Structure 1
Amino acid sequence: MMTDPISDMLARIRNAALARHDRAEMPHSHVKQHIAAVLKAEGFLDDVRVSEGEGRKTLTLVMRYGRDRASAIDGVRRISAPGRRVYVRFDRIPRVRSGMGISILSTSRGVMTDRQAREQRVGGELLCEVW
């Protein structure tokens, strides 16, 4: 039994980037799919696919690499965890690596980046940071 599926997702992404794999596969959930869509929109992933097989859905993330197979994702950190939830107001959302990275928040208006949350003036649960 997995107690924190989002941490598992981030660990799989980190491991795939470090090992220079073409893709990372994981069990599907709607929150993971929305986080992956944000990462794709921000240019950290090439593609997000959902496939169904044997009664289960699988989420496949196609990793993005630059020259010399340098990963677009340098680091990932989980902020809010099941035992320690972290909520922030829109004006207290931290900047990641002086604006070079993103924070992903779960808000009442859906999963979005720190930049979008500040623009819409909405806070929420600070899920993770990616740079």
Structure 2
Amino acid sequence: MGHPKGVALHDALSDTFARLRNGQTARRAAVTVPHSRHVLAVLRTLTALGYLSAVRVVPPPSPAAPPHPTLAVDLKYGPGGAPAMVRLARVSKPSRRVYAGGRSLPPAASGLGEWLLSTPQGVMSGTEARRRNVGGEVLGQVF
């Protein structure tokens, strides 16, 4: 997987969300995504919330390979093989940024899901942002 040489990826987070959704639809155990610190922080937050099993950085396979690490994401499934994430959607996009304050953030999916926020204190869940009373960019919604 990956993008052809010379093709820029403009929205790495949307690409990551699509890979996670497609991997779960295909019932894969794991997917790989291009490495970035921001994407890694979002994936670690999803893991801490219990939507993913694990995330690990995979170094380049050989010195001849491009020097870019990838991220291996172990997907999580519930009883009967149901995906842990029913919905994973991007909210803020490069064309339209969405921001919310810590106290003004409503419950996600009627309290069944969680918001993902990028704040000055790092990427965190909506519940954590409310607890710390910190706002930021609403990256996505998961449930």
Secondary structure in 2 matching 1:103: strand
Q: Which runs of no fewer than 5 residues in structure 1 stay unpaired?
A: none
Q: What is the aligned length? A: 131
Residue 50 of structure 1 and its aligned partner are, at CA, apart by 0.4
Deviation by residue 1:6-46 (Cα, 9 ceiling, x = unmatched): 00000001111111110110110001100000011011011
TM-score, length-normalised on structure 1?
0.97
Q: Do residues 11 (structure 1) and 14 (structure 2) align? A: no
Q: Show structure 2 runs of 5+ residues with no match.
A: 1-7
Aligned residue for 2:69, secondary structure, equals strand
- Give the number of the structure whose residues are more often helix, by fraction: 1
* Alignment-derived partner of residue 118 in structure 2: 106
TM normalised by structure 2 equals: 0.89
User: 1:81 deviation in Å?
Assistant: 0.5
Q: CA deviation at 1:91?
A: 1.7
CA RMSD of aligned residues (A): 0.8
CA–CA distance in structure 2, aligned partners of residues 26 and 42 of structure 1: 19
Partner SS state of residue 84, structure 2: coil
Of the candidates 51, 58, 65, which is equivalent to residue 58 of structure 2?
Answer: 51
Q: Which has a greater percent of strand?
A: 1
Q: Partner residue of 1:22? A: 29
Structure 1 residue 42 and structure 2 residue 49: aligned? yes
**CA distance in 1 between partners of 2:106 and 2:11 (Å):** 23
